[in-house]
């Protein structure tokens, strides 16, 4: 079914119909040089991950199904509560891209040096709400 929906959106885009979407860019620079430049293009039912530049030669992604909620325990301590393991961890070579279908609501963390952490250590994750 998801392939049919993706095909439908592709046909609409060929005729100039825009069904909405979001683009998120992660960029890290040191001394004016990009050490990480990544772009995620999310459209309904389809996400495209593009590694535009990485000093290590790869962009390492962690894709989480939903935002982790901050909770407080009985002592009033705040903690990050991630109930499920990340559904996707992958690396993309510098200059390459990857598409993933059927992503609805997700959060993405990206790093140039190994798989990024999924919890509080994940620096300012983007929250993407595709229809």
**Which H or E element spans position 122?**
none
C-alpha of 96 from chain center: 15
Which of 43-70 are b and which e, b meaning 16 or more Cβ less than 10 Å from the residue's Cβ? Answer: bebbbebbbbbbeeebbbbbbbbeebee
Round the average pLDDT of the chain to a whole number and report it. 74
Range of the domain at 87: 2-7+19-129
Q: Within a domain: residue 13?
A: no
Top mean pLDDT of 16-25, 63-72, 98-107 is at 98-107
φ and ψ at 7, to 5 degrees?
-60, -40
Question: Residue 64's pLDDT band (boundaries 50, 70, 90)?
Answer: confident
Q: Within a domain: residue 122?
A: yes
Question: What's the CATH code of the domain at 23?
Answer: 2.60.40
Mean pLDDT over residues 86-104, rounded? 86
Mean pLDDT over residues 11-38, rounded? 79
């Amino acid at each position: 079914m998801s392939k049919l929906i993706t095909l439908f959106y592709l046909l609409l885009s060929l005729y100039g119909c825009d069904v909405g979407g979001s683009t998120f860019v992660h960029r890290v620079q040191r001394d004016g040089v990009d050490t990480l430049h990544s772009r995620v293009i999310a459209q309904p039912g389809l996400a495209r991950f593009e590694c535009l530049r990485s000093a290590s030669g790869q962009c390492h992604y962690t894709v989480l199904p939903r935002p982790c909620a901050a909770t407080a325990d009985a002592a009033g301590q705040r903690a990050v509560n991630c109930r499920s393991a990340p559904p996707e961890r992958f690396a993309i070579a510098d200059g390459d891209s990857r598409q993933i279908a059927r992503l609805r609501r997700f959060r993405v963390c990206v790093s140039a040096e190994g798989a990024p952490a999924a919890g509080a250590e994940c620096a300012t994750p983007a929250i993407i709400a595709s229809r």
